[in-house]
Each structure stands twice: as C-alpha cells, then as structure tokens.
Copies of this chain bind each other. A is one copy, B any other.
Amino acid sequence: MSKYKALKEECFEANMQLPKLELVIYTFGNVSAIDRDLGVFAIKPSGVPYTSLKAEDMVIVDLENNVVDGKLRPSSDTKTHSYLYREWEEIGGICHTHSTYAVSWAQSQKDVPILGTTHADYLATDIPCAPPMNDALIAGDYEHNTGRQILDCFRDKNLNHREVEMILVGNHAPFTWGSDAAEAVFNSKILEEICRMAYITLSINPDAHRLPESLIRKHYERKHGKNAYYGQK
C-alpha cells in the first residue's frame, strides 16, 4: 500500500478543497488523480461525506476499473474518470461537482457563451454543453457512456482537451480536468464563477455579445500562448 500513499494524499487534498470552495455539499462530487507510471488512479470512495473523509479512504483503481487497493467502493462515476484517462493521456486529474451555477447551465442545455475576459483568461471558446444521452446510452453502461458523450462532444465541436479543460454534461453537471488533481479542482471553481457571471450578464442584457475574436485571443494568449507574460514563469 505504501506505494500509493502519495497518490492517495494528492487525491484526498484535492477532494477536501471542494467543500471549502463551496462547490459541493454532503457527498456530492468526486476528484481523482492518476499515476501514469503505475497505471492507476486514486478516487474518492462512493457516498462518503467530506466531513469524515480520510486520505486512506481513497480507492486505487486501474484503467480497466478494477479496484487495486482500498477497502471502500470507489465513486459511482469511476468509469467516466477511467474513460477520460484512457482517451486523454496528458491529463493528471479529473474533478466532478454539482456546483450550483454550472449545474444550472447544464440543466439549461446551453453552451456558456464567452462574454468577457474572465472567461477568455481560461479558454478561448464557449464552454461546451454535451447533449443529454439518448435512452440506449443511458440504459447501457451509463458512466462509461458519460465519458463517451464527453469525447463525442469534443470531436463534434472540434475542441482540444488541452485548451478546453471543462465541459457541462446536459441535464447533469460539470466535469473538469488538468495536469493534476489540484488543477482539475481549480478549473471547477473557475467554471462555477464564469457560469455565475454569464447568468447575471444575460439577466442584465439578454443581447450581450460574445467577445470579439481579437480580444479572446489576446487574453488567452497572454496567459497560455507562446509569448505569455502573465504569471511568474
């Protein structure tokens, strides 16, 4: 077990950020962290409240969804996580919440339009909302198919998962990812704030315009482009 200790710790710390950032209540949500060398990821156990969660409770699962280590049952969303880890080899962490504003946009089944620089600082497109699954997908391997639905949406919209690290699943809730679990959680908080601002903006002005492409590129590139000058690196 000791070889999974660091991975469990990373996963635990990231999960514990969710209630602190007011992205979850009770047992809502889950974060995972992958160790690509070991070929396994740590994930929150299913239905355990954050108030009693411990690092040793994290469940170690391989990419075929077999529990490798841990006494508890892994998150019911485990197959969605493993699907994304298999398909997207560069990502190191995944976060799923039921945060209020992101869920509300997911329930509205609308992409979140890029209305300002707060949004453009993190991604250069609307935040995609994958359509709800059809009945056959729901009746099948549901959580596996949630991953598939996310990939299909990225393919249909021609999005790059390294540039767009968040999605809303229609009728359901957001998933975000990043280079590690902490970054995945960070993206969930950013997403929630962008969703809240977009909701208020469109209440003030239903005809608010998307950002012009020039300003999108400017803000995105100054943080993420070749000549980025935001931050200390």
Contacts and interface: CB of A to CB of B under 8 A. Distances in A.
Interface of A: 25-28, 45-48, 72-73, 76, 98, 100-101, 103-110, 115-118, 132-133, 135, 138-139, 142, 171-173, 186, 189-190, 193, 196-205, 208-209, 211-212, 214-215, 218, 222, 229-232
| For the complex of A and B, 5 pairs with smallest distance between CB atoms | A47-B231, A108-B205, A104-B200, A108-B204, A107-B201
A128 B88 CA distance: 43
A157 B209 CA distance: 23
A116 B105 contact: no
A215 B137 CA distance: 10
Contact of A230 (B76, B101, B186, B189): B76
29 contacts: A25-B193, A28-B118, A46-B230, A46-B232, A47-B230, A72-B232, A73-B229, A73-B232, A76-B222, A76-B230, A100-B193, A100-B196, A100-B197, A100-B200, A101-B200, A103-B197, A108-B201, A109-B205, A110-B204, A110-B205, A115-B171, A116-B171, A116-B173, A118-B173, A132-B215, A138-B214, A142-B218, A199-B203, A202-B204
Contact of A107 (B105, B110, B139, B197): B197
Contacts of A230: 46-47, 76
A232 to B, nearest CB: 6
* Candidate in A105, A138, A200, A232 with the most chain B CB atoms within 10 angstroms: A200
Contact of A139 (B115, B208, B214): B214
A171 B215 contact: yes
Contacts of A104: 197, 200-201, 204
A215 to B, nearest CB: 5
A101 B198 CA distance: 10
Given A26-B186, A189-B26, A218-B142, A199 B199 contact: no
A132 B190 CA distance: 23
A73 B223 CA distance: 14
